[in-house]
Amino acid sequence: MNEEEVQDESEKKIDRARLAATKWLPMSAIGAAIPFVIGIIMGLRVEQVLVAAALTSTLVFSGLWMQSFGRERQYSSAT
């Protein structure tokens, strides 16, 4: 890898980290809050609500992370 490719790769990592901190984590938190609200309304056990919240948060975060890789491929194939 030459110096330009290394710098480009580090910029992509920084951009992903910025997106994770500014958009993905808040969206994951909102996604985790939804099972809490539904669980309270339905009167579910705390364990079930915690597992549902953790899975929802993980699903939202990983989906957004994978989407960023898809966008990267889309941009590189368009150029």
pLDDT tens, per residue, the chain with 79 residues: 566 666 566 667 777 777 777 888 888 899 999 999 999 999 999 999 999 999 999 999 888 888 877 766 655 666 5
> What is the per-residue pLDDT for 50?
94
The token pair that represents 7 in the structure block: 């710098």
> Is pTM, for the whole model, over 0.75?
no
> Quick one: how far is CA 64 from the chain centroid?
4
Task: Give the closest residue to 29 by CA, choosing from 63, 68, 56, 62.
Answer: 56
Number of domains in the chain: 1
Helices 46-78 and 25-42 cross at an angle (nearest 10°) of 150
The two tokens of residue 46 are 């705390």
The C-alpha angle 9, 61, 40, rounded to 5 degrees, equals 165
Q: Could you tell me the residue range of the domain that residue 47 belongs to?
A: 3-78
